[in-house]
């Protein structure tokens, strides 16, 4: 049920790139490219670093660009998953769907650990003072597990993957997450440690319509534009080459906690969502997105298959976002 049908092959490619990068050897994946393999890209601009954009992706690879077109491999987060993650999720070899946020001089990286088709999943947190691997102070400090779900019968009906940290205008912290197993949730976090308060509750925020089976929704990302928070989610099947049906849908709310509604006023908790990005003849299965505001422009970062070169797997796409007169995102063509 879980989306990573091709995780082992992609992990092998990324592992090879990591090895070649460490050895200083030339590699197509480690050189500048317009189509880096970057499933579930999380984008950020890093102040006080070399100017440009960083993208963190499933498999622990980091990519860097100065123009959003050409990308260079920039390193990794962990040499191997932390011990707690390997113990809690046997068989996991790298993290999935990272999320990166800068808050008061510290970078917070939330990441998921799971295996295909399993609800035995966990979300972890690592922090760093820099995200530039060439900086001598570069050092990710793992803070361990944030939240977990299990496959125990009658256990929690959610899946602890695809994390996304949202800090609202009042500096309250929310962690959005979820995939299948009843959809997207959030939980409130304590800014002092980046983990849930003792009395935090898991709250539902979006799911598919009752007639959709399975509950194919994941990859939540919240972006604030003017008076609204916009919840971007990925629908349907990821990571199956030309058979992928992934697409991006969106709803909005005046509160981070929702309720989120689509353009027709249908709540996302009732299956609502306005599709803003889907396959075309060239780019197949777009999704797993993040959104970034820079220099007066908004961009959506996502992965998709290139129908002209499927061997690359899911590659990074960047498209500009404009806004309709009634305040809804409109995705333009990729920058390259």
Is the domain spanning 7-331 CATH 2.115.10.20? The answer is yes
Those residues whose C-beta lies under 8 Å from the C-beta of residue 258, and which sit 6 or more positions away, are: 205, 231, 267, 268, 269
Tell me what percent of the residues of the chain surpass a pLDDT of 70.
88
Coil, helix or strand for 134?
Answer: coil
Residues serving a catalytic function are 40, 218
Domain boundaries, given as residue ranges, for the chain: 7-331
Question: CA–CA separation, 13 vs 134, rounded Å?
Answer: 23
For the segment 244-249, the average pLDDT, to the nearest whole number, is 97
Q: How far is residue 326 from each of residues 226, 227, 297, 323, measured CA to CA in Å?
A: 12, 12, 18, 8
Q: What pLDDT, on a 0 to 100 scale, did the predictor assign at position 153?
A: 59
Q: Render pLDDT for 117-129 as a digit per residue (tens, 0 to 9).
A: 888 999 999 999 9
Those residues whose C-beta lies under 8 Å from the C-beta of residue 142, and which sit 6 or more positions away, are: 78, 82, 124, 125, 126
Question: CA–CA separation, 287 vs 217, rounded Å?
Answer: 11
DSSP string, 81-106: --HHHHHHSTT--S-EEEEEEEETTE
- Say which range, 14-18, 94-98, 296-300, has the weakest mean pLDDT: 14-18
Q: Render pLDDT for 49-93 as a digit per residue (tens, 0 to 9).
A: 678 999 999 998 999 999 999 999 998 999 999 999 999 999 999
């Amino acid at each position: 049920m879980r989306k990573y049908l091709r995780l082992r092959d992609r992990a092998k490619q990324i592992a090879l790139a990591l090895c070649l990068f460490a050895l200083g050897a030339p590699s197509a994946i480690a050189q500048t490219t317009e189509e880096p393999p970057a499933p579930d890209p999380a984008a950020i601009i890093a102040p006080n670093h070399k100017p440009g954009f960083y993208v963190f992706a499933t498999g622990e690879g980091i990519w860097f660009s100065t123009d959003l077109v050409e990308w260079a491999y920039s390193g990794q987060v962990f040499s191997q998953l932390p011990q707690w993650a390997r113990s809690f999720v046997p068989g996991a070899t790298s993290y999935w769907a990272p999320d990166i946020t800068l808050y008061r001089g510290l970078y917070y990286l939330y990441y998921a650990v799971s295996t295909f088709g399993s609800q035995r999943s966990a979300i972890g947190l690592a922090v760093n003072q820099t995200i530039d691997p060439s900086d001598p102070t570069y050092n990710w400090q793992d803070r361990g597990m944030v939240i977990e779900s299990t496959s125990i019968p009658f256990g929690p009906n959610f899946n602890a993957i695809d994390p996304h940290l949202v800090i609202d205008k009042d500096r309250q912290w929310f962690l959005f997450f979820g995939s299948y197993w009843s959809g997207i949730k959030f939980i409130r976090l304590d800014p002092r440690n980046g983990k849930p308060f003792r009395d935090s509750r898991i709250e539902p925020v979006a799911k598919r319509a009752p007639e959709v089976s399975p509950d194919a929704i994941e990859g939540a990302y919240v972006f604030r534009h003017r008076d609204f928070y916009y919840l971007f989610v990925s629908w349907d099947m990821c990571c199956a080459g030309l058979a992928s049906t992934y697409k991006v849908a969106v709803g909005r709310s005046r509160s981070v906690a929702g309720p989120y509604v689509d353009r027709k006023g249908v709540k996302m908790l009732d299956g609502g969502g306005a599709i803003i990005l889907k396959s075309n003849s060239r780019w197949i299965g777009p999704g797993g997105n993040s959104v970034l505001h820079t220099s007066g422009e908004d961009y959506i970062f996502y992965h998709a298959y290139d129908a002209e070169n499927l061997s690359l797997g899911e590659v990074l796409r960047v498209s500009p976002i404009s806004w309709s007169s009634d305040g809804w995102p409109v995705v333009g063509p990729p920058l390259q």
